[in-house]
Amino acid sequence: MTPITTPNPNSFRTQPDERGHFGQFGGRYVAETLMPLILDLEAEYKRAKADPAFKAEFDDLLEHYVGRPSPLYFAPRLTEALGGAQIWFKREELNHTGAHKINNCIGQILLAIRMGKTRIIAETGAGQHGVATATVCARFGLPCTIFMGATDVARQKPNVFRMKLLGAEVVPVTSGAATLKDAMNEALRHWVANVHDTFYIIGTAAGPHPYPELVRDFQSVIGKEARAQMLARTGRLPDLLIAAVGGGSNAIGLFHPFLDDPSVQMIGVEAGGHGVDTDQHAASLTGGVPGILHGNKTYLLQDEDGQITEAHSISAGLDYPGIGPEHSWLHEIGRVKYLPINDDEALQAFQDCCRLEGIIPALESAHALAALPKVAKQFGKDQMILVNVSGRGDKDIFTVADKLGTSL
Amino acid sequence: MNRLSAAFAKSRPALVTFITGGDPTPEATPAILDALVEGGADVIELGMPFTDPMADGPAIQAANLRALGAGTRTADIFAIAKGFRQRHPDTPLILMGYANPMIARGADWFANACAEAGVDGIICVDIPSEEDGEIGPALRAHGIAFIRLATPTTDAARLPAVLDGSSGFLYYVSVAGITGKQQAQLASIEEAVAKLKAGTDLPVVVGFGVRTPEQAADIAKHADGVVVGSAIVDLVATHGADAAEPVRTLVASLAQAVHTCHLA
């Protein structure tokens, strides 16, 4: 097939290349057993993208099942408290299941069904992706197995119970630090042994090609809606976008539709844990170097021998030593700035958002909110900052209570 | 004729054995390697430990963590390889592992270190032929064999891509899965090896799930070699720094079975 239009060489929106590379990042670094399936998935995704019926079903489910479009909200008291730019929220926490994760799960389960797969597996950190996957599996009647680090099972009990209510089997993973990285290792091991009938719904814009591309495309509904909503409400585009980045799916979903708008600045917030000058953080761009893990080349926390080092974050959803490959590329070319935010800053922003706006944000989203005091005053009062409130914080109240010294 | 091709030029199948470097400690590894050779192994695979061994089952995962827990570094692996080469000038030595430790200092650094240590080839679990550029050119420039894996999911259409740029031997992973788990049906292995041999002149070696002399001999009848890994690693787990003697005994029984399988 010949492309109808010549790609704009100055566009930031034409990645990845046909081999799944975003600059030097991305690619398909998987065991040979998985390669044929990865190639099948790529071919099926191309067919699905060209099929109006696929898009129609995706859009219909997003509207009537997920509850889209999610609102664009002006946050008046937070704006006043910060004393700088107007603060706006993209309210992904109002989606069905309480986070942006469901957007991607809807898209991937439709692909799984197209490919004739009859079982679903997924990894989860905070449990939001696990809940979203269990939800779409219940909706479509497919058996579902979720791999979750045993540490995360302990700190995210409500989500574990939600997954079980939705009919999923939750497998606690005890290897390594028993968090998201280890859950992903175990999901890959299970997949390689069950590749004939099993589809792996990866929860973030990472992993082997075509996952980073297709997850981004499914999550881009966030940025497409926000762009249209901003123009409709204010007549112009925001001056700055802020989103938290673990693997980076909510951030790339917000950023991607704005990448070719030169007036729109972007900040991705990494989890700084106890500080990027300690060994207790999850800021792979700030504190890592490029390497290969979980199917893609990207920035990783690792030692000089290439051994992966353990990440730390108060937020289970950001507790991962890597990042999606498109973020690594956007970082290297400088289109997006990446900023670490520490646990205590996120905890403060979590409380401020509760008290000033009546919104309990996820700890992941609280990292994005915590960037606001650092940047809001760099903008005039007529300028606008849009923050992706990617998830709601009900799941985090036990962690927060523990940090604040309150027992529930 | 190089060491690897000589190992497969004998008129009998080859026994390929695997242990994880640095398990239980870097100091204990040389004696266990010597036991593999003394037991009769024809080719040695030395695992480079990695924090995230995604293709390995519980036995080799644990071996990786024991090795790293004992402080094993990349420098230790190359020191072990160099010592092995001095003691065993004719036995081929393969490094097996994952991409990230191999490219951490650059592929060229790694390939050069392999050449200097007398390493004959590399098996990298997570660099499929599509990503050959990551390490393949550097290995070829330094004369290090790049041994690729074929699996039950590698079909006829895909096989040429896998073979393109592969050297040393072809490693047939007989089960779709991780190391040390179930064993494939003999009939399916026989059929798969025949298809692979029709496509390449490289020796075809079969691994994954092979534990006993009987299993090894059954497979060796239809292939150029058999890999045994987890069963040996289990002995290291049990006996620790005293594993050399039981490893030598097991490998001797495996070698006897594999080397004489055509006579049985």
Q: Are residues A266 and A166 in the same domain?
A: no
Q: Which chain A residue has the Cα nearest residue B127?
A: A29
- pLDDT at site A156: 85
Report the first-to-last Cα separation within chain A, whole angstroms: 60
Q: Are residues A93 and A104 in the same domain?
A: no
- CA atoms of A191 and A188, how far apart (whole Å): 5
Task: Verify cis geometry, omega within 30 degrees of 0, for the bond prior to A16.
Answer: yes
At position A13, the amino acid (one-letter code) is: R
- pLDDT at site B264: 64
Interval B113-159: pLDDT, tens: 999 999 999 999 999 999 999 999 999 999 999 999 999 999 999 99
- pLDDT at site B107: 98
Interval A340-354: pLDDT, tens: 999 999 999 999 999
pLDDT for residue B78 is more than 90: yes
Bridge partner residues of A324 (DSSP) = none
- pLDDT at site A1: 44
Two tokens, residue B28: 């204990």
The one catalytic residue among B23, B27, B42, B45:
B45
Query: Residue A140 belongs to a domain with what CATH number?
Result: 3.40.50.1100
Domain final position from A215, A238, A259: A215
Is residue A13 in a domain? no
- Do A300 and B100 make contact, defined as CB atoms within 8 angstroms? yes
Q: Are residues A279 and A183 in the same domain?
A: no
- Do B74 and A195 make contact, defined as CB atoms within 8 angstroms? no
By the 8 A CB rule, do A37 and A112 touch? no
Query: Is A101 designated active site?
Result: yes
Interval B191-235: pLDDT, tens: 999 999 999 999 999 998 899 999 999 999 999 999 999 999 999
Selected for mutation to probe chain B from A189, A289, A301, A304 (highest B CB count within 10 Å) is A189
pLDDT for residue A33 is more than 90: yes
- Do B153 and A193 make contact, defined as CB atoms within 8 angstroms? no
- pLDDT at site A157: 87
Two tokens, residue A189: 């091991």
pLDDT for residue B162 is more than 50: yes
Residue A4 banded pLDDT, cuts 50, 70, 90: low
Interval A278-330: pLDDT, tens: 999 999 999 999 999 999 999 999 999 999 999 999 998 898 999 999 999 99
Two tokens, residue A198: 């099993």
Region A126-133: mean pLDDT is 94
Structurally, chain A folds into a number of domains equal to: 2
Q: Residue A140 contacts by C-beta under 8 Å, 6 or more apart in sequence?
A: A109, A113
- CA atoms of B83 and B238, how far apart (whole Å): 25
Highest mean pLDDT range out of A224-233, A396-405, B49-58? A224-233
pLDDT for residue A380 is more than 50: yes
Residue A41 lies in domain? 21-63+100-215
- CA atoms of B77 and A351, how far apart (whole Å): 50
Interface of A with B (CB under 8 A): 19, 27-37, 175-176, 181, 185, 188-189, 192-193, 195-196, 291-295, 297, 300, 302, 304-309
Q: Are residues A88 and A121 in the same domain?
A: no
Is residue A7 in a domain? no
Residue B185 banded pLDDT, cuts 50, 70, 90: confident
Determine the length of chain A. 408
Domain final position from A153, A181, A215: A215
Q: Which chain B residue has the Cα nearest residue A34?
A: B153
Region B17-30: mean pLDDT is 98
- CA atoms of A252 and A216, how far apart (whole Å): 6
- pLDDT at site A179: 87
Mean pLDDT of all residues in chain A? Answer: 95
Two tokens, residue B123: 């098996």
Which residue shows structure tokens 């990448």?
A259
Domains of chain B (ranges plus CATH)? 3-259 (3.20.20.70)
The one catalytic residue among A90, A101, A181, A297:
A101
The one catalytic residue among A42, A92, A93, A123:
A123
Is residue A2 in a domain? no
Residue A49 banded pLDDT, cuts 50, 70, 90: very high
Residue A382: which of A78, A84, A88 has the closest Cα? A84
Task: Verify cis geometry, omega within 30 degrees of 0, for the bond prior to B89.
Answer: no
Is residue A142 in a domain? yes
Q: Are residues A194 and A249 in the same domain?
A: no
- pLDDT at site A3: 47
Selected for mutation to probe chain A from B77, B100, B135 (highest A CB count within 10 Å) is B100
Query: Is B242 designated active site?
Result: no
% chain A with pLDDT above 90: 92
- pLDDT at site A408: 83
- Do B52 and A185 make contact, defined as CB atoms within 8 angstroms? yes
Q: How distant is the Cα of A275 from the closest Cα of chain B, in angstroms?
A: 23
pLDDT for residue B262 is more than 90: no
Is residue A408 in a domain? no
Q: Are residues A346 and A210 in the same domain?
A: no
Please report the number of interchain residue pairs, chain A to chain B, with beta-carbon separation below 8 angstroms.
114
Query: Is A49 designated active site?
Result: no
Q: Are residues A297 and A334 in the same domain?
A: yes
Enumerate long-range contacts of B63-67, CB under 8 Å, 24 or more apart: B63/B19, B63/B20, B63/B23, B63/B233, B63/B236, B63/B237, B64/B20, B64/B23, B65/A175, B66/B20, B66/B22, B66/B23, B66/B24, B66/B237, B67/B20, B67/B21, B67/B22, B67/B23, B67/B24, B67/B25, B67/B26
Region B238-254: mean pLDDT is 98
Is residue A281 in a domain? yes
Domain final position from A162, A192, A215: A215
DSSP-derived secondary structure for B179-202: TTS----HHHHHHHHHHHHHH-SS
Is residue A191 in a domain? yes
Interval B165-181: pLDDT, tens: 999 999 999 988 888 76
Is residue A263 in a domain? yes
- CA atoms of B247 and B256, how far apart (whole Å): 14
Which residue shows structure tokens 């449990």?
A127
Q: Are residues A275 and A206 in the same domain?
A: no
Angle at A121 between CA A119 and CA A123, to 5 degrees: 175
Angle at B72 between CA B24 and CA A185, to 5 degrees: 85
- pLDDT at site A126: 82
By the 8 A CB rule, do A319 and A179 touch? yes
Q: Are residues A87 and A186 in the same domain?
A: no
At position A379, the amino acid (one-letter code) is: F
Q: Are residues A301 and A348 in the same domain?
A: yes
Q: Are residues A91 and A111 in the same domain?
A: no
- Give φ, ψ of B225 to 5 degrees: -175, 165
- Please tell me if residue B154 touches chain A, with a CB cutoff of 8 Å: yes
pLDDT for residue A2 is more than 70: no
Q: Residue B176 contacts by C-beta under 8 Å, 6 or more apart in sequence?
A: A33, A192, A193, A195, A196, B151, B152, B153
Mean pLDDT of all residues in chain B? Answer: 96
Distances (CA, A) of A115 to A19, A106, A200, B237: 21, 15, 12, 42
- pLDDT at site A317: 87
Report chain A residues whose CB lies below 8 A from the CB of B173: 32-33
- Do A292 and B155 make contact, defined as CB atoms within 8 angstroms? no
By the 8 A CB rule, do B138 and B158 touch? no
Residue B184 banded pLDDT, cuts 50, 70, 90: confident
- CA atoms of B46 and B153, how far apart (whole Å): 26
- Please tell me if residue B74 touches chain A, with a CB cutoff of 8 Å: yes
Q: Are residues A256 and A350 in the same domain?
A: yes
- pLDDT at site A5: 54
